[in-house]
Structure 1
Amino acid sequence: MSDLISVVVPAYNAVPTLDETMRSVLRQTHAELEVIVVDDGSKDATRQMAEAFAAEDARVRVISKPNGGVAAARNTGIDAARGDYIALLDADDLWHPDKLRRQLERFHKGPSTLGLVYNWYRRIDTSGRVVDPSATPIVEGWVLYRHLDWNFVSNGSTPLIRRSALGDIRFDSALNAAGNQGCEDYLLQLQIALKHQFACVPAYLTGYRRTEGAMTGDAGRMIRSHIHMYEVLWPDLDAAGRELARRRMATFHAEYARNRIRRGKVGEALSAVGQAFARDAAGAPLKLAEQVRLGLVYLSRTGAAAEHGVDPRHFDAYSETEVDTVWDSRRRLQRFKNLAALDAAYDPRMVGRPAS
């Protein structure tokens, strides 16, 4: 079996970060790579920077296309890939040198039904410094129900995917077209989880770059993206999966109501409240009450710097196993107990059959 890994790097106006990102790919200890940089109609020197890497390293290819969004750019790269494994890497994220080697080893030790291997990550700022606590979940085997409940993989620069598990699945551009981009990674992972198992490498191998300002500005869009994602996935879910999706959509509608109130959009907030009750009439009052509580917490913290106790060293200064903070997993793991039992009994042969 070939161990060629195709790394797809979608890039749009990525000059400030692409150099560091590419160097983190090309220093991988698993050297059997092809790196496909997809320039998505950049207006800066992204293409020229990528072509400079291609001139120095024969493993790098550059594809240019008109701007169409990150989902379309990733799909272009996947369609051009030759490897038996696919890894996606956003043009501002970083990898530990042993990331792909350790993930590939996990594939070799796993069953033929193993379709995706993920690892832990660290959140980094624009300078590559670690800024927030990192979750350290280990969720393995059949994971569909737990993944529906919580995106424990969290980002698109972490998974290594077996090409045969990906098959004809591609990133859904409909979310982008509807203005609801953000959950394309999560949707694709769930589509893989319908028929394949997941495994975890318990090490911090990805530097996931997100700034606080960007997260706040995109909050409403990300909430809509989650709701849209569940709607896209709905026809493929069984009865248990639909029940989970229904409750999660109600939660996101309640969260969207709070988001709209904060922005003074009372009509949109009331509509979101109605959607929350329509999805989960029994659970909606508690979901909305929780959002009120969170809103009060937000107001009490406005203007104050968050104190996470994270050592703000550069991602590269941490070892792959060095803990940045202790993750408080009690509530999450408690929620996962029943879902783990559901996953253990999951039958992928039920995929595509009508849910009652």
Structure 2
Amino acid sequence: MAEPQEWRMNVPALSAIVTFHGEGILAHTTLRSYALSRNIARQQGVEVQLVLVLDRADAQTRAFVVNHPDLDGSETVVETQVGDLALARNAGVAASCADYICTLDGDDLISTRYFLMHLKEAAQLDGRFVLHPEMVLSFGMYSAFNWQVDQTGPYYDEHALLSVNPWISAAFSTRALYEEIPYVACYPRQTGFGYEDWYWNSETIARGVVHRLAWGAAYFYRRKWHGSLNEASHAMKTVVPMTSLFALGRDRGQGRDHA
């Protein structure tokens, strides 16, 4: 499918927000992957803006990011001191200039046509949506792979979000949606609440947003032995804050009507 004409301009079609904090040398490999996918998109006339958010980044991580050999000066570097992944992503949204935005982590990898596959799928969708990569391949502490769930497909369970997050944190949607429904800080170590992406997924669904898949896109999820916020949250037995989605379900059970 040919890309729409408006993508073939100097204005980026997509802003990819990458959050860093203490990845160290892993940030080097990650940026190589993201820059390669950007270059593949450029070969098709599609510009991708890399928004690199350094949130309380240590000196080593910052050095690997700002001095990376694959950066060409078109990137936007944002330095924050918010100390929270949700708020760091929101800062990335504020610094983005494209109509489409995707979120990425600072220690993972993506398939070479990752950006193109998301843009291609978005061009075929109507209404409000969030896209996730079709396949996730975990590596590092352990190896695994899984296909993610399309909300309109037969494997989606509308009750699943009560007990499990069906999608990883990598997400793609319109800039307007990220501004309308921003990420909410959890500060799991201080509050016991966690999983800002799980909470965000629930809030978007509660507002009628449909989660779909970018077919053909693969995300390589690094499972770290140490320093993973996700694993730390598991160890602390954090829970997802009460969301509008759960409240709607409770109120339906009591026979209340909602607009």
Q: TM-score range by the shorter chain?
A: 0.7 to 0.9
Partner residue of 2:80 out of 60, 65, 78 = 65
**1:178-257 equivalences in 2 (<5 Å):** 178-180=190-192, 182-194=194-206, 195-203=208-216, 205-211=218-224, 218-221=233-236, 223-226=237-240, 229=241, 231=242, 233-234=243-244, 237-239=247-249
Partner of 1:58, secondary structure, is coil
1:132 aligns with 2:147: no
| 1:18 counterpart residue number | 27
**Stretches of structure 2 lacking an aligned partner (at least 5 in a row):** 8-12
- Deviation string for 1:27-69 (max 9, x for gaps)? 1122311111111122323223222248841331211122522
Task: Return the offset for 1:216.
Answer: 6.0
Structure 1: how far apart are the matches of 2:22 and 2:68?
Answer: 16
Instruction: Find 1:141's aligned residue among 124, 139, 152.
Output: 152
Secondary structure at the counterpart of residue 220 of structure 2:
strand
What do the CA deviations read for 1:106-140 (whole angstroms, capped 9, x no partner)? 111222333434422111117xxxx3332224323
Q: Does 1:112 align with 2:127?
A: yes
What's the counterpart of residue 175 of structure 2?
A: 163
- Pairing 1:1-356 to 2, within 5 Å after superposition: 2-3=6-7, 4-28=13-37, 29-31=40-42, 32-53=47-68, 56-125=71-140, 131-141=142-152, 145-149=158-162, 150-153=164-167, 155-157=168-170, 159-176=171-188, 178-180=190-192, 182-194=194-206, 195-203=208-216, 205-211=218-224, 218-221=233-236, 223-226=237-240, 229=241, 231=242, 233-234=243-244, 237-239=247-249, 350=258
The superposition leaves residues 201-248 of structure 1 with CA deviations (integer Å, 9 ceiling, x where unpaired) of 344611111235657654242x3233xx3x1x14774236876xxxxx
How far apart, in 2, do the equivalents of 1:242 and 1:114 lie? 24
Q: 1:49 to 1:238 in 2, by over 3 A?
A: same
Could you say which structure has the larger radius of gyration? 1
Instruction: Tell me, in whole angstroms, the C-alpha distance in 2 between the residues paired with 1:93 and 1:147.
Output: 26
CA spacing shift, 1:216–1:78, aligned 2, 3 Å: closer
Q: Is the 8 A contact 1:234 1:242 kept in 2?
A: no
Distance 2:68 2:41 in 1: 18
Kept in 2, the 8 Å contact 1:122–1:204? The answer is: no
Identify, as 1 or 2, the structure richer in helix.
1
Which structure has more RCO (C-alpha within 8 Å, separation ≥ 6)?
2
Letter in 2 for 1:225: V
Q: Which amino acid aligns with 1:238?
A: L
Question: Structure 2 CA distance, aligned partners of 1:68 and 1:104?
Answer: 31
Q: Please tell me the residue identity of whatever aligns with 2:76.
A: R
Aligned residues: 235
Structure ranking higher in strand proportion: 2
The separation in 2 between residues aligned to 1:242 and 1:87, in whole angstroms, is: 33
Structure 2 counterpart of 1:19, which letter? H
Distance 1:141 1:69 in 2: 32
CA distance in 1, matches of 2:196, 2:160: 14
**Any conservation in 1 of the 2:23–2:107 contact (CA below 8 Å)?**
yes
Alignment-mate amino acid for residue 43 of structure 1: D
Q: TM-score, normalised by structure 1?
A: 0.58
Secondary structure of 2:197's match?
A: helix
Structure 2 counterpart of 1:160, one-letter code: F
Please give the alpha-carbon distance, in whole angstroms, between the structure 1 residues aligned to 2:251 and 2:174: 24
Report which stretch shifted further, 76-85 or 134-143.
Answer: 134-143
- Give the match's secondary structure for 2:121: helix
TM-score, scaled relative to structure 2: 0.77
CA RMSD of aligned residues (A): 3.0
Q: What displacement does 1:74 show?
A: 1.3
Closer, same or farther: CA 56–202 of 1 in aligned 2, 3 Å: closer
| Partner Cα distance (2:251, 2:131) in 1 | 20
- Percent identity of equivalent pairs: 17
1:250 is aligned to: none
